[in-house]
Amino acid sequence: MKLVVTGTRGIPYIMGGVEKHCEELFPRLAAMGVDVTVVRRTAYARDSLTEWRGVKIKDIPAPKRKAFEAVVHTWRAVRYAAREKADVLYLNAVGPALLTPVAKLLGLKVIFVHHGPDYDRDKWGRIAKAMLKLGERMGCRYADKVIVISELIRNHIKERYGRTENVHLIHNGVSKPDFCEEPEWLAQLGVEPGKYVMGMSRLVPEKRLHELIAAFQAAKLPEGTKLVIAGAADFEDAYSRKLRAQAAAAGVVMPGALRGKKLHSLLTGAFCFVLPSSHEGLPIALLEAMSYRLPVIVSDIPANLEVGLPKDCYFPLGNLPALASALEKLYAERPQKLDYDMSAYDWDTIAGQVFVLL
């Protein structure tokens, strides 16, 4: 079984939810005997790997322009998959799904993974949103099988396109936590265990990090409490520059995109995790925070509600006073580490579910 994967910036250690999905899933499929090749976008590769944890790596260039980078790269990746006589093309996200009919014309079996309605992201203009919606339509209409990461997306596909056949709900997963302490790293950042709020995401408008900073400043929290936001921008634009300036003025700690012990130690030592976003598919960052047993505060968008957290974990999207109040309430209660049911998000189980579909 030869499987070619596209619709991702690549693996390993490349920021993004789809990238995390691929990084966890495909080494497991390779270990199950699948011949897996992940096609990376050259601009994001920081190494010369041709194989990683049993997964073959193929770098293909594409212009680093957010308006058409994904489509151009997917076109080239589809042609590569056809030349390699792949048995299955694993196509991530609605933008790249625009090329589904082309892949079918080239004789490829296509599994389209719908990670969420990307056209709802704040960063896209009218034309880009229209193209993303068309990509969703092409994927849902022409793919042999569709994987959705949430019940919300499955219902969306049924209502908008009437497709129920060969639509499979397979959640995103989360790795087992690596609880660790790196006191020198925390000291370098100027934070102390249990005395900082943590956010973690790409620096894009729909994550609403500017609102998190404003609500944190408005909240009456114990002296010395810090806000740490881990993450970086795909493209340095007006929003990310303005956000960094806002964070600097508010004394927010921004260590950039993190992996490994540095990230794990921040999650281990955080008091709570906040995700105020307006758009998600199934938020891997939230699942990671839950795996570290952190109290969480998240916006009440449908994707977050589907996780099924207690009611007081949610606040109304965009309501800064409510978010500030939730932070104050959490600090007043000082909850212990929590135990969440993470059984639905086990990557080994997820890999088995995908394997059956190949």
In a domain, residue 93? The reply is yes
Kindly report, residue by residue over 57-76, the tens digit of the pLDDT.
999 999 877 667 889 999 99
Is there a single domain that holds both residue 96 and residue 123? Answer: yes
144 and 193 share one domain? no
Amino acid symbol at 276: P
Does 321 map to a domain?
yes
The CA-to-CA distance between both ends of the chain, in Å, stands at 8
Q: Which two tokens stand for residue 50?
A: 């041709």
Question: Any idea what DSSP says for residue 13?
Answer: S
For residue 338, tell me if it sits in a domain.
Answer: no
**Prediction pTM value:** 0.89
Cα-based distances in Å from 17 to 20, 50, 116? 5, 22, 11
| Domain shared by 154 and 270, yes or no | no
Neighbours of 309 (CB within 10 A): 17
**Number of domains making up the chain:** 2
Same domain, 144 and 248: no
208 and 313 share one domain: yes
230 & 160 share domain: no
Query: Is 340 a member of any domain?
Result: no
Amino acid at 76: R
Domain co-membership, 161 together with 197: no
CATH number at residue 114: 3.40.50.2000
| Residue 166 and residue 218 share a domain | no
| Residue-by-residue DSSP string for 275-306 | E--S--SS-HHHHHHHHTT--EEEE--HHHHT
Residues 160 and 259 in one domain: no
What are the tens digits of pLDDT across the range 88-115?
Answer: 999 999 999 999 999 999 999 999 999 9
Q: Are residues 75 and 158 in the same domain?
A: yes
pLDDT tens readout for residues 265-296: 999 999 999 999 998 988 999 999 999 999 99
Helix %, strand %, coil % of the chain (to 5): 45, 15, 40
- Rounded to 5 degrees, φ, ψ at 14 are -115, 130
Q: Does 234 lie in the same domain as 150?
A: no
Range of the domain at 120: 2-174+345-357
pLDDT tens, the chain, 358 aa long: 999 999 999 999 998 889 999 999 999 999 999 999 999 999 999 899 999 999 999 999 998 776 678 899 999 999 999 999 999 999 999 999 999 999 999 999 999 999 998 888 777 788 889 999 999 999 999 999 999 999 999 999 999 999 999 999 999 999 899 999 999 999 999 999 999 999 999 999 999 999 999 999 999 999 999 999 999 987 788 999 999 999 999 999 999 989 899 999 999 999 999 999 998 988 999 999 999 999 999 999 999 999 999 999 999 999 999 999 999 999 999 887 788 999 989 999 999 999 999 9
